[in-house]
Structure 1
Amino acid sequence: MKNMDDIMRAAQNVQEELQKAQAKLDDIHVEGQSGGGMVIVKATAKGRITGVTIDPSLIVPGDKEMLEDLIAAAFNDAKEKADRAGQAEMEKMSSALPLPPGFKLPF
């Protein structure tokens, strides 16, 4: 039964490493932009929004729709970059684990 104990211990190690990697995602920061940098959304790789910057020239009465579109585009850009940064971090973590060939972690 030693083999089963080894498998259980390895599974526990994988779970611990996944938890560490998930916690680290909140320390990785990305920036999404739109309108040539006139709208900037800052986020963590975990997807938490940490800031929004809007160029004052965009705050024009009657042009609310364009500003809303730029904000949405910057959020989407930040989300895409956060997803990529998170994926890269998880791949880096999983490559260090002793997993059988072809084994994929759920992320």
Structure 2
Amino acid sequence: MKSRLPQGFGGGPQNMNSMIKQAQKMQEEMAKATEQIEQMDFSATVGGGAVSILMSGKKEVKSLTIKPEVVDPEDIDMLQDLLIAAFNECMKQIEDTSSETMGKITGGLNVPGLF
């Protein structure tokens, strides 16, 4: 009794070459997308405009703006919380954009450590 493989499986070297070419194309597209994301800017504003941060897609802080009225020597904790919130929001935007872009390229394939 012979067993049959589902269509698209098997096929020997031709199928393997095709898979390698698809993987190489995906890798090139991912590198291009990563480069585009790194060129983008992401910003977040918290505390009703009290703190604003601008970061590059490389996750580097480009600017940080703090309104003078939130600088209270008696309440440093609030300022720290605002800075953390602004930074985290910007990082989330970068990660979401990266995941969405890579998901489009990989077709939702989740490969650990890929991006």
Smaller-chain TM-score range?
0.7 to 0.9
Q: CA RMSD in A?
A: 2.0
Structure 1 residue 87 displacement after superposition = 2.0
Q: Which residue of 1 aligns with 2:99?
A: 87
1:17 counterpart = 2:29: yes
1:69 counterpart = 2:69: no
Q: Which residue of 2 aligns with 1:58?
A: 70
Larger Rg: 2
Q: Which residue of 2 aligns with 1:7?
A: 19
Structure 1 residue 23 displacement after superposition = 1.3
Instruction: Note the residue ranges of structure 2 that are not aligned, 5 or more in a row.
Output: 1-12
Q: Which residue of 2 aligns with 1:32?
A: 44
* Percent pairwise identity: 30
Q: Which residue of 2 aligns with 1:104?
A: 109
**How far apart are the structure 1 equivalents of 2:110 and 2:34?**
13
* Aligned-partner SS, 2:74: coil
**How far apart are the structure 2 equivalents of 1:8 and 1:17?**
14
TM-score after normalising by structure 2: 0.73
Moved over 4 A (4+): none
TM-score after normalising by structure 1: 0.77
Q: Verify the 8 A CA contact 1:30 1:81 in the aligned structure 2.
A: yes
Higher relative contact order (CA 8 A, sep 6+): 1
Instruction: Note the residue ranges of structure 1 that are not aligned, 5 or more in a row.
Output: 96-102
Q: Verify the 8 A CA contact 2:103 2:109 in the aligned structure 1.
A: no
